[in-house]
Amino acid sequence: MILVCPSCATRFNLDESRLGGQARRVRCSRCKHEWVQAPERTAELPPAAVIAEIAPPPPPVEPPEPPAFVAAEPAYMPPFEPERPDLREMLPPPLSADDPLAAPRREEGGGTGVTIGWIALLLIVAVVLGALYVGRERVMQIWPPATQAYEMLGLVALPPGAGLAIQDIAAMTTQAEDGTPAVLSVKGRVVNVSRSTRRIPPLRASLRNAAGEEVRGWDFGLPRQMLEPGESVDFDTRLDTPPAEALNLVVVFTPPPQR
């Protein structure tokens, strides 16, 4: 007889005599599935005999009907309010002004730490200021704008016109034909050659003889008092009746007048 595995559909050729004329349990050698196999002659039995060996399926069980509920009006329940104890009865009485515990307690050592911190900060500031004062020449050399700050604080005495240059000086004497005294005209310009704004001090024109001694000199100012870096301003000054012994002309900066 031909057997077919219900699980993997593998077909086998089995000698029916091995079943012994009754249903036996067999197992598939491929998928190991087991089932009960009856001999083919069982199929020739009347349908009633076959049906007698198979238990009828149990009748379907209908689910029980849910119980009917009767709508009822909700009962009134007051809101839940937990009991709150009176804190005034639980807290101790307040401390009086005479009670030593009422005064705030200061942490031991707190004031000492703050004092030490301030002293250290003052020492650091003093060291920095001292270094800026002692090394002011080096500071002005590295950072030229610091020169103006040192001047304002009176910590440095720079020569008049520091950072400025007098250039393109030209002198010319004119003599009138009517015999009037000659006039000496001096022209030039002042240039800011520094990297910061500079104040222009008064200028002095000096006429000198062959020995280098001044025989006539006069001070004059410029229409501008401040020059930005790289800026310049022209000047033109005159002297009536210059001395005959004057051979050289020098224009220099002079200290500003003391107020």
- Tell me the domain boundaries of the chain: 2-49, 164-253
Q: What are phi and psi of 42, to 5 degrees?
A: -65, -30
Report the alpha-carbon distance of residue 104 to residue 87 in Å, rounded. 24
Indicate the average pLDDT of the chain.
75
Torsion sign across C-alpha atoms 135, 138, 142, 143: positive
**Over 80: is that where the pLDDT of 71 sits?**
no
Query: What single-letter amino acid sits at 224?
Result: R
CB of 198 closer than 8 Å to CB of 192: yes
Give the pLDDT confidence of 182-229 residue by residue, as tens digits: 889 999 999 999 888 888 999 999 999 989 899 999 999 898 889 999
pLDDT at position 149: 74
CB of 189 closer than 8 Å to CB of 167: yes
pLDDT at position 233: 94
The CATH code of the domain at 164-253 is 2.60.40.10
User: What's the pTM?
Assistant: 0.41
Q: 256 Cβ partners below 8 Å, 6+ apart?
A: 160, 199, 201, 202
* Interstrand relation of 183-192 and 232-240 (parallel, antiparallel or unpaired): antiparallel
Proportion of the chain above pLDDT 90, given as a percent = 20
Torsion sign across C-alpha atoms 198, 201, 205, 211: negative
Torsion sign across C-alpha atoms 108, 114, 120, 122: negative
Query: What single-letter amino acid sits at 60?
Result: P
Report the alpha-carbon distance of residue 233 to residue 226 in Å, rounded. 10
Higher pLDDT, 184 or 181: 184
Report the alpha-carbon distance of residue 168 to residue 188 in Å, rounded. 5
Beta bridge partners of 191: 165, 232
- The confidence band for 53, taking pLDDT boundaries of 50, 70 and 90, is very low
Q: What is the mean pLDDT of residues 139-148?
A: 70
**Over 70: is that where the pLDDT of 126 sits?**
yes
pLDDT at position 206: 93
